[in-house]
Amino acid sequence: MTLPSAAPKHKLGLIGATALVMGNIIGVGVYMLPASLAPFGWNTITGWGITLSGSLCLAWVFAVLARHLPHAGGATGILGMALGPAPAFVTAWGYWVSAAVSNAAICIGGVSYLGRLVPPLAQSPTLSAITGCAVLWLLTALNSRGLKASGATQVITTVVKLLPFVMVILVTMLLLFTNGMASIAPFDASTLTWTGATGAAALTLYSMLGLECAAMPADVVNNPERTVPRATMLGTILSGLLSLAVTGALVLLMPAAQLALSAAPLADFVTPTLGSAFGVVITVCVIIGAFGALNGWVLVVAELPAALADQQMLPPWWGVRNARGAATNSVVVSGVLASILIALSASPRLSNAYQFVLLLSTSTSLILYLLAPVGALVLARRGVVPRSAGLVIAAVGAIAFALSAYAGAGRDAVLWGLVLTAAGIPLYIVMARRRALT
């Protein structure tokens, strides 16, 4: 998400900037995440501890870079300054892959909840996959015609997608008030392992993707030297704690076997306490939030490679636009990639397809999370940004976090992520040779 570079008439204060940060981070993955976390038990809490610590380190790095380099062109421009055009391209391409894969995850999760209202979807993986692809291409067609959701619509969908969080926290409080600690799964220290913690962290990181968007350009906030870092850190903390509260509540308060098989975890959690009507309300909220988010991300995954084409890092074909200005070729390629993953989710051989898609999206985004702090250290050494103990500690912590997340994501997700990321390198080499000849 990119904010306008021109100075707006009304600038954001701490509250407005923090709200923007939270809006960027909180997505729809958290609605399905508890089912994937069910096998991890109490390791979910330690995994969230790793994710929150690493996210705060990353947030600080992005906040410092945004404060001192607000007009560098975002992460790609900053990495280009620090490490050169090739690492900047690989990072941008990997982020595009992550976003396209995330669109598949949004479709799978949204249709999974839709199955609560339309039972045939829950009974037929094939029909569910077809529906997911249909929704994806419908929104792709709408975006290609230049239709954009209004700001008011985005605000409404943001509020709607937070309602399930409120209901889950309410039910958690009621259960604890009624049954006390007996409601919580027994704690067994012997089940806590580093492998379990990093595995859970790789999944929980998906709920924090988007924190790189948090560090807004300095010219849209009041007193940016103080507001940007504070809003970034505060928004990251609040988003992380909210997601931790929701996922942790379901993992520790629902039977693991039931949670692992749930196609709509939040709805299944509140229904026994509040009634089926509230389960339906949550289901509707999740569907609106999911497909509302998908509408915006369809546009994002189209614009990312088109922007690289405009910078002559990809062949001009990727930047072709129709009469309404939509990047038609880019949006088609992005849609095809997401559709393949959605179709694979219907295969009986991939019982954990949704979890694999989450890990694939996370592993491809880790390129940015690994190289951004490296770039920050390089720029600090050159004196481009002030070198401070806080920046060095945050950058080292972010690097360690990214490496541990790679380990937790598992071999298959990391290897497929590397393959998809490497697929863009030949295109970059071709364009680099063309630029050298001109």
pLDDT value at residue 90: 92
Residue 16 in this model has a pLDDT that exceeds 80:
no
Is residue 146 within 8 A of residue 325, CB to CB? The reply is yes
Residue 9 in this model has a pLDDT that exceeds 90:
no
DSSP conformation class of 254 = S
The three-state secondary structure class of 221 is strand
Instruction: Write out the two tokens for 256.
Output: 């693991």
Residue of 185, 351, 174, 160 whose CA lies nearest to 263: 351
Could you give the CA distance from residue 168 to residue 170 in angstroms, rounded to a whole number?
5
Task: Supply the mean pLDDT for the chain.
Answer: 84
Q: With bands split at pLDDT 50, 70 and 90, how would you rate the model's confidence at 437?
A: confident
Give this prediction's pTM. 0.83
pLDDT, tens only, 263-317: 889 999 999 999 999 989 999 988 887 887 787 778 778 888 888 888 888 899 9
Residue 145 in this model has a pLDDT that exceeds 80:
no
**What is the percent of the chain with per-residue pLDDT over 90, rounded to a whole number?**
36
pLDDT, tens only, 50-67: 999 999 999 899 888 888
pLDDT value at residue 155: 55
pLDDT value at residue 1: 38
Residue 6 in this model has a pLDDT that exceeds 80:
no
pLDDT, tens only, 317-327: 998 888 777 78
**Does the domain made of 14-429 have the CATH classification 3.20.20.100?**
no
Q: How many residues are listed for the chain in this entry?
A: 438
Is residue 302 within 8 A of residue 330, CB to CB? The reply is yes
Neighbours of 422 (CB within 10 A): 12
Q: With bands split at pLDDT 50, 70 and 90, how would you rate the model's confidence at 69?
A: confident
Could you give the CA distance from residue 162 to residue 150 in angstroms, rounded to a whole number?
19
Residue 200 in this model has a pLDDT that exceeds 60:
yes
Helix axes 85-114, 125-144, angle to 10 degrees: 120
pLDDT value at residue 350: 52
Q: With bands split at pLDDT 50, 70 and 90, how would you rate the model's confidence at 122?
A: confident
pLDDT, tens only, 332-370: 899 999 999 999 887 765 557 788 888 898 899 899 999
DSSP conformation class of 197 = H
> Measured in whole angstroms, how far is the alpha carbon of residue 290 from the centre of its chain?
12
Phi then psi for residue 39, to 5 deg, are -70, -15
One-letter amino acid of 390: G
pLDDT value at residue 8: 45
What's the mean pLDDT in 120-142?
A: 89
Could you give the CA distance from residue 208 to residue 218 in angstroms, rounded to a whole number?
22
Q: With bands split at pLDDT 50, 70 and 90, how would you rate the model's confidence at 169?
A: very high
